Structure 1
């Protein structure tokens, strides 16, 4: 039996990984791990409030490990704090860490390297190919995943998409070349409903903030 800690971004891919892991008989999920900007108290890149991530963890019935990152955060500082968190997890019996990555080989290689020598093995439960992400996005929706776009990279996607629900209409509106799961960083999401949640996390898109070409919708509890 693998005792698994799931890297949790608060988005739909993390939620789909949670759903996939819950269906595996060889896995015992022991918790979620999220990195937060310690100054803002929000998820890095997604800019989701910590309280909403805590609500997701409660809905999933899992404890949340918060890794606080300085602002600005160098890669060295990120790796040091992550390795400390991984070592602590290993001391508590965690054998594997799972990630919701889909097809970016360089990201996968980085995750593997970060865990190398820690005694914690990597898992990629929803790994697929770039050709299969349209079908994957459709499967998420069919299974009941509901999410909201919290961040849009305006260099890859029109900022008008921020705050929109991740649904069939959005997928139909995405321009050619944009991955339907946003795997190349075109957009990031917050998952409000998931088969692995006991309840929906009700949110409303609020103020939109622009930083360095990224448009963030501030999600507030509804």
Structure 2
């Protein structure tokens, strides 16, 4: 039986790693490319702040062809969608029919992804969709994956939290209201070892940096809403 030619939207974090693991276990799919968006101004993975060199080392260890989509520092939605369209058009011309994601339960995001792909007559795959996130993070650790927190929302965490390697104790001590997988954007990680890697990724931890960003504007914004939100980053050095 011919396998379904699939590309994976790779974030470099734990959810991507686990979703890819399950996809590779599923005999129906052939995952032939990983794609990742990069902030071209800083040469780092978008949102995660991970150095491009570590991303490349990671995808080489996974042993799947990777492609980087370079975005400006603060891309508009129009620029983002144009860059994605260029990449998806290429992938489609190369015979890809499915696009996989590590999303778990963000309905709006899933709908957006499916609608954008449908315009190109591609289908979306969500290997860990609607799974219990506490069960997922425990499965992730039980399978032998290893991951470190690279950035975290200052609403929930201080600088001591970033640079932490996730273990069972970490899960049990998360603040109330924080998803065990950080699925609401509470934190992001870098996965550096596990069953999909041919070797662990070596790195050392560097400085911790705090940055503030503008909150997206919505129609129901009140004058009391904070205009900015803060993120703690831990730099990882190859």
TM range (shorter): over 0.9
Q: Which residue of 1 aligns with 2:143?
A: 143
Work out the CA distance in 2 between the residues paired with 1:146 and 1:203.
Answer: 13
Runs of 4+ deviating beyond 4 Å? none
In the TM superposition, what whole-angstrom CA distance separates every residue of 1:145-168 from its partner, at most 9, and x where no partner exists? 100000000113333211100111
Q: Which residue of 1 aligns with 2:195?
A: 195
Work out the CA distance in 1 between the residues paired with 2:170 and 2:158.
Answer: 12
- Given that residues 158 and 232 in structure 2 are in contact (C-alpha distance below 8 angstroms), is that contact kept between their aligned partners in structure 1? no
Gaps of 5+ in 1: none
TM-superposed CA distance for 1:116, in Å, is 1.9
- Given that residues 34 and 64 in structure 2 are in contact (C-alpha distance below 8 angstroms), is that contact kept between their aligned partners in structure 1? yes
Give yes or no for the alignment of 1:155 onto 2:155.
Answer: yes
Aligned residues: 219
Give yes or no for the alignment of 1:220 onto 2:220.
Answer: no
In the TM superposition, what whole-angstrom CA distance separates every residue of 1:164-200 from its partner, at most 9, and x where no partner exists? 0011121122112110100000000000012111010
Q: Residue 161 of structure 1 aligns to a residue in which SS? A: coil
Question: Given the alignment, which residue of 74, 77, 80 partners 2:76?
Answer: 74
Work out the CA distance in 2 between the residues paired with 1:155 and 1:81.
Answer: 31
Q: Which residue of 1 aligns with 2:22?
A: 20
In the TM superposition, what whole-angstrom CA distance separates every residue of 1:14-68 from its partner, at most 9, and x where no partner exists? 1001101110110001010000001111001100011111111111111111100
- Given that residues 157 and 178 in structure 1 are in contact (C-alpha distance below 8 angstroms), is that contact kept between their aligned partners in structure 2? no
Work out the CA distance in 2 between the residues paired with 1:156 and 1:14.
Answer: 23
Work out the CA distance in 2 between the residues paired with 1:159 and 1:120.
Answer: 41
Counterparts of 1:5-154 in structure 2 under 5 Å? 5-129=7-131, 132-154=132-154
TM-superposed CA distance for 1:205, in Å, is 1.7
Using the size of structure 1 for normalisation, the TM-score is 0.96
Gaps of 5+ in 2: 213-229
Using the size of structure 2 for normalisation, the TM-score is 0.89
Query: Which has the higher Rg, Structure 1 or Structure 2?
Result: 2
Q: Aligned Cα RMSD in Å?
A: 1.0
